[in-house]
Structure 1
Amino acid sequence: MTCENVLSSKGLGECAVFYTDNTIYVVVQKKLEKKELIQIQNVIMNVFKVDFSKIRVSQSKNLN
């Protein structure tokens, strides 16, 4: 939950963060610019102490 709050406070919108088998999955609701993606990766690397290669970021599909 803390990680989601940090990402939201940086203006990156609503997101969900999942951790499994040393891989971090981040699902965001909006299309990201490159600089926003880099911000997310930096936050995840700092919070979870994982390598860049262990982070997966994807955009959720709107079902409406």
Structure 2
Amino acid sequence: MAIKTYKPTTPSRRHMTVSAFEGIDKKAKPERSLTEVLKKNAGRNSYGRITVRHRGGGNKKKYRIID
């Protein structure tokens, strides 16, 4: 996997680098045995009461286990 570097158009871009994911197929689903459910608590505490506002909803997410 290559590292993509940016031209210094702003001071923060001068040292900015990211991983290039050209060789990775984004449409391929991960191996099912290497995924597990990522539990959401939607801003609730151990009593089940909302303690943080404006959280919740959204799509289901999975956690991918990497060796």
TM-score by length of 1: 0.23
The structure with more strand, counted as a fraction of residues: 1
Higher helix share: 1
Higher relative contact order, chain-length normalized (CA < 8 Å, sep 6+): 1
Question: TM-score of the superposition, structure 2-length normalised?
Answer: 0.23
Larger Rg: 2
